[in-house]
Amino acid sequence: MHTAPDPDPAETTIERVAVLYALASEAEPLIERLMLAEQPAVDPALRPRHFAGTVGTLHVDVLVNGPDPRCGTDRVGTDAATLAAYMTIRKLAPDLVLNAGTCGGFAARGGTVGSLYVSEGPLLYHDRRIPIERFALQAAGRWPATPAPRLAAAIGARPGVVSTGNSLDATDDELAFFERERVSAKDMEACAIAQVCAQCGVPFVAVKAVTDLVDHPEPVQDAFLRNLRTVCALLGERMEAGVRWLAAHPRRVGEL
Ligand code: ADE
């Protein structure tokens, strides 16, 4: 169990994994496949929904942000993700945090609807602009992800650069950023969760499934809404494979 920053996290055996989702529709297929049971809310004020169970000896927690009480829509974006990540680490002490969900993809990097990516290299923020030299790194994020080539193979995912922002669409500046940084997956949570994990010393991997193409003339929201259900079903199937791979025998972080 993870209780404090580990002097050699590569040697940590993964006994507890937490999977963080923003949307209920992204999380439901995995919850059903693993027959996880709903638990009392981890935090009564913010009420992210918590599901848990075991696969072999692996303990699995799934956290879903839950709805904004004012409008009923699932909470998305970096604020909710940061809170959920912090709460999860403090209260559930995972050895590994995964953030699974949908993303915008890029035809320029070979992405198509249904492409799956596992985070490669540092995670980025694409919508934080602070043109003062000493703030540049904070603005760009560049928070680390744990290398996970074997987990990616078990899931059937490619490695890809993930970048996070708080909008579904993209500005011209952001489109230039995606090209410069060779981004494959544009999401709304991963870098925020990576930031919390890095500061708490917990290994982190993002798994993202493409619902829409950022570099395509069709508005992303149209493709996102059209493809959400089928891509979430695919993501659930692949996440189940990933969790079963993690549970197949004791895995160390360095073996991901
Ligand atoms: N999730 C799914 N599609 C997305 C996009 N285009 N941008 C951010 N998050 C997404």
Whether 153 is in a domain gets the answer yes
Whether 2 is in a domain gets the answer no
Burial of residue 123 (number of CB atoms within 10 Å: 0-12, 13-18, 19+): buried
Q: What is the reported pLDDT for 222?
A: 97
Which is it for strands 158-164 and 123-125: parallel, antiparallel or unpaired?
parallel
State the CATH number of the domain containing residue 39: 3.40.50.1580
Backbone Cα Rg of the chain: 17
Q: Give yes or no for residue 117 CB within 6 A of ligand 1.
A: no
Q: Which of 23, 127, 220 to mutate to test the pocket of ligand 1 (most atoms within 8 A of CB)?
A: 220
Span from the CA of 161 to the centroid of ligand 1 (angstroms): 14
Domain count, the chain: 1
| 215 in catalytic set | no
Whether 93 is in a domain gets the answer yes
Whether 1 is in a domain gets the answer no
Whether 117 is in a domain gets the answer yes
Q: Which residues pair with 97 in a beta bridge?
A: 18, 204
In whole angstroms, give the CA distance from residue 93 to residue 139.
28
Q: Give yes or no for residue 231 CB within 6 A of ligand 1.
A: no
Give the amino acid at 156: G
Report the first-to-last Cα separation within the chain, whole angstroms. 17
Q: What is the reported pLDDT for 5?
A: 56
Burial of residue 221 (number of CB atoms within 10 Å: 0-12, 13-18, 19+): exposed
Whether 198 is in a domain gets the answer yes
Q: What is the reported pLDDT for 103?
A: 98
Q: Are 118 and 203 in contact (CB under 8 A)?
A: no
Which domain range does residue 50 map to? 12-255
| 212 in catalytic set | yes
**Intervals of the chain under pLDDT 70:** 1-7
User: Encoding tokens for residue 170?
Assistant: 């993209």
Whether 7 is in a domain gets the answer no
Q: What is the reported pLDDT for 44?
A: 82
Q: What is the reported pLDDT for 163?
A: 98
Whether 190 is in a domain gets the answer yes
Q: What is the reported pLDDT for 8?
A: 72
Closest ligand 1 atom, residue 214 Cα: 6
